[in-house]
Amino acid sequence: EPEVTQTPSHQVTQMGQEVILRCVPISNHLYFYWYRQILGQKVEFLVSFYNNEISEKSEIFDDQFSVERPDGSNFTLKIRSTKLEDSAMYFCASSPAGGMSQPQHFGDGTRLSIL
Amino acid sequence: AQRVTQPEKLLSVFKGAPVELKCNYSYSGSPELFWYVQYSRQRLQLLLRHISRESIKGFTADLNKGETSFHLKKPFAQEEDSAMYYCATSSGGYNKLIFGAGTRLAVHP
């Protein structure tokens, strides 16, 4: 069964540095998402992406964050200048189409640790 | 704003006991409700969704619009059911998921 893959599984970065988290969505999926989960808290929506542009973003997704689909397979989340509070698990997800009743498939996540 | 509430952080039962994981939601339109499960060191997986009205791994969930609930039930828990369970609702359009805080189910032998 096809899966969403995320790399790296664990990223350790100094505060203030840029970090790029990578995701390869399922190949025939059209909608892509990033979520994060701070330790001990709920999974929170960051951004959704369709047709090469952001379709929705949360208030967490400020100017420090950006997403890109640089080629036909990768979907990346960039944090420009990391802060301690960016430490979290970051999950990528994809779905075959938007709208109701289209289940999202999640990757294993990247654990981001900011020192 | 849409919100999902899972009041229990931990539910601990013995093997063979019935299980009910509670989920309440607030949503102004017609909600789409899901249960996701995360086994130890694995990814979030869709367990079931209300529109399918199916039973997966013995689990069922019924949408109760009057009580705004979507509780997850299983009549006889198994040890392999031990996991984190997240209730979620979708927000139409591009299907953003809004998650509850999750309930850890621990099934003891």
Å between B102 CA and nearest CA of chain A: 7
Q: Is the pLDDT of residue A70 over 90?
A: no
pLDDT of A99 > 70? The answer is no
The CA distances from residue A37 to A72, A83, B32, B78, B84, in Å, are 27, 15, 22, 27, 13
Q: What is the pLDDT of residue B32?
A: 86
pLDDT for the residue numbered B42:
84
Q: How far from chain centre, in Å, is Cα A108?
A: 11
For residue B16, the distance in angstroms to the closest alpha carbon of chain A comes to: 29
Give residue for tokens 């654990």: A111
The pLDDT averaged over each successive group of 10 residues in chain B (109 residues) is 91 97 87 90 88 84 91 96 94 78 96
Task: For A10-63, write each residue's pLDDT tens digit.
Answer: 999 999 999 999 999 999 898 999 999 998 889 999 999 998 999 999 999 999
Q: Which two tokens stand for residue A104?
A: 């999202």
Q: Per the structure block, which two tokens stand in for A57?
A: 């973003």
Residue type (1 letter), B68? T
Assigned CATH topology for domain A5-98+106-114? Immunoglobulin-like (2.60.40)
Q: What is the pLDDT of residue A72?
A: 77
Assess contact for A78 and A65: CB atoms under 8 A: yes
How far, in Å, are A18, A30, A68 from residue A72 at the CA level?
23, 11, 11
- Residues from chain A contacting residue B101 (CB–CB below 8 Å): 41-42
What's the pLDDT band for A103 if we cut at 50, 70, 90?
confident
User: For domain B3-108, is the CATH number 3.30.200.20?
Assistant: no
Cβ of A101 within 8 Å of Cβ of B94? The answer is: no
Task: Read off φ and ψ for residue A88, nearest 5 degrees.
Answer: -175, 175
Using CA coordinates, name the residue in chain A closest to B34: A103
